[in-house]
């Protein structure tokens, strides 16, 4: 096939959009698979000879099959990243149907270069400040629908791999960075932090996450396509930080709210309840839910990316740099009111 194209689903999302840009920067020809009416700001400015829009729905196989014409690779990045959705089962069903439809279309096209974006969420959590690898078994019950959707999609992938589909899975951790137009719950958590009233402390709990930059995750996808082993899963993590360290980094970067002393489960659970009520009242998704507070507020999603580092040559930048880039981009996009943005230290302004 002469000058084959690459299909990227979820191309208007944070990971998918960044991946499209990274591929185009390399000179690859990319079809950005998007729904009709999608917000296309993340794809603006890309050269038309290297990036084309392909309209369709990942749950409708024939639209994916049509888009895969002249393609030799597919990155399946599409997913719904939202907490407390109005129709939880629909989110889970769409993840399952979309995964099956995308890879069945790829099978019919004879495409054998397949990478899927899973999530470190499919590994569950750990109660101690230790790291998990790709073999960690999921250990949550009645999990947040977003997590359930990722888990069910991962099970479909494993079934397809067992049936001979040459799929490589990548498992990003907590992703931050430029291009988060919607924004994702991670990006929205930064927006809410920046809006916090002066003099307040950011309530935190024990536990922690792995902070990774979206550009490092995109490059991890590309390396997985180039040298990843079929059927393998690769964690794409960053710096493992406690929640206290996370918000202390933000405080150091911005000059804004310091983290509080760690709060107990009752306090964090009450905060989640208030945020859920506010979300229902305003018809906006919350950044914290009761399920998330229960499962993650006092647990760790710390990982080791050693497998990806050794097999793929994966690297990641420090969490401080990642968060600074993310905050700077949010300010540049005017995602917080001007009086709020003016409180942020000038060191974040572009040089």
pLDDT at 349: 45
- Residue-level pLDDT at 351: 37
How far apart, in whole angstroms, are the C-alpha atoms of residue 286 and residue 274? Answer: 10
Rounded to the nearest 5°, which phi and psi values hold at 228?
A: -70, 150
Please give the average pLDDT of every successive group of 10 residues along the chain, which has 351 residues.
87 97 97 95 95 97 97 96 88 95 97 97 96 97 95 97 97 97 94 86 93 98 98 98 96 91 91 91 89 94 98 98 95 90 67 37
Sequence-distant (≥ 6) Cβ neighbours of residue 278 within 8 angstroms: 284, 286
Q: Specify the residue for token string 């001007």.
A: 338
pLDDT given for residue 26 in this prediction? 96
All domains of the chain, ordered by start, with CATH?
5-179+210-239+301-317 (3.40.50.720)
By CB atoms closer than 10 A (0-12, 13-18, 19+), residue 27 is exposed
Specify whether the CB–CB gap between 172 and 117 falls below 8 A.
yes
**What pLDDT sits at residue 99?**
97
54 with 105: CB under 8 angstroms?
Answer: no
Which pLDDT score is estimated for 102? 98
Positive or negative: CA dihedral 40, 173, 30, 70: negative
pLDDT at 86: 85
Cα dihedral 119→122→127→130 (10° resolution): -50
Other C-beta atoms lying within 10 Å of the C-beta of residue 44:
7
Per-residue confidence (pLDDT) for residue 105, from 0 to 100: 98
Beta strands in 206-274 (DSSP E): 208-213, 233-236, 239-242, 259-263
């Amino acid at each position: 096939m002469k000058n084959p194209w690459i299909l990227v689903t979820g191309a208007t999302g944070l990971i998918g959009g960044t991946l499209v840009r990274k591929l185009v920067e390399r000179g690859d020809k990319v079809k950005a698979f998007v729904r009709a009416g999608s917000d296309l700001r993340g794809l603006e400015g890309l050269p038309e000879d290297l990036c084309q829009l392909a309209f369709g729905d990942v749950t409708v196989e024939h639209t994916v099959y049509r888009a895969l014409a002249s393609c030799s690779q597919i990155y399946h990045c599409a997913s719904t990243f939202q907490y407390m959705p109005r129709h939880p089962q629909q989110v889970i069903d769409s993840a399952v149907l979309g995964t099956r439809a995308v890879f069945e279309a790829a099978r019919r096209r004879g495409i054998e270069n397949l990478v899927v974006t899973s999530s470190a969420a499919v590994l569950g959590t750990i109660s101690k400040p230790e790291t998990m690898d790709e073999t960690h078994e999921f250990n949550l019950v009645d999990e947040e629908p977003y997590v359930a959707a990722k888990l069910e999609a991962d099970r479909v992938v494993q079934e397809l791999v067992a049936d001979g589909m040459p799929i490589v899975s990548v498992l990003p951790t907590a992703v931050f960075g430029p291009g988060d137009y919607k924004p994702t719950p991670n990006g929205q958590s930064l927006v809410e932090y920046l809006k916090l009233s002066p003099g307040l402390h950011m309530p935190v709990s024990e536990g922690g996450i792995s902070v990774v930059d979206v550009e490092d995750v995109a490059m991890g996808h590309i390396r997985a396509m180039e040298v990843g082993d079929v059927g393998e899963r690769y964690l794409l993590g960053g710096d493992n930080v406690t929640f206290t360290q996370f918000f202390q980094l933000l405080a150091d970067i911005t000059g804004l709210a310091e983290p509080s002393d760690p709060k107990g489960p009752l306090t964090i659970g009450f905060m989640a309840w208030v945020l859920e009520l506010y979300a229902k009242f305003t018809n906006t998704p919350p950044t914290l839910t009761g399920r998330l507070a229960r499962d993650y507020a006092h647990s760790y999603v710390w990982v080791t990316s050693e497998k990806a580092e050794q097999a793929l040559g994966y690297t990641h930048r420090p969490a401080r740099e990642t968060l600074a880039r993310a905050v700077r981009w949010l300010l540049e996009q005017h995602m917080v009111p001007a009086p709020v943005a003016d409180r942020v230290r000038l060191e974040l302004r572009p040089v």
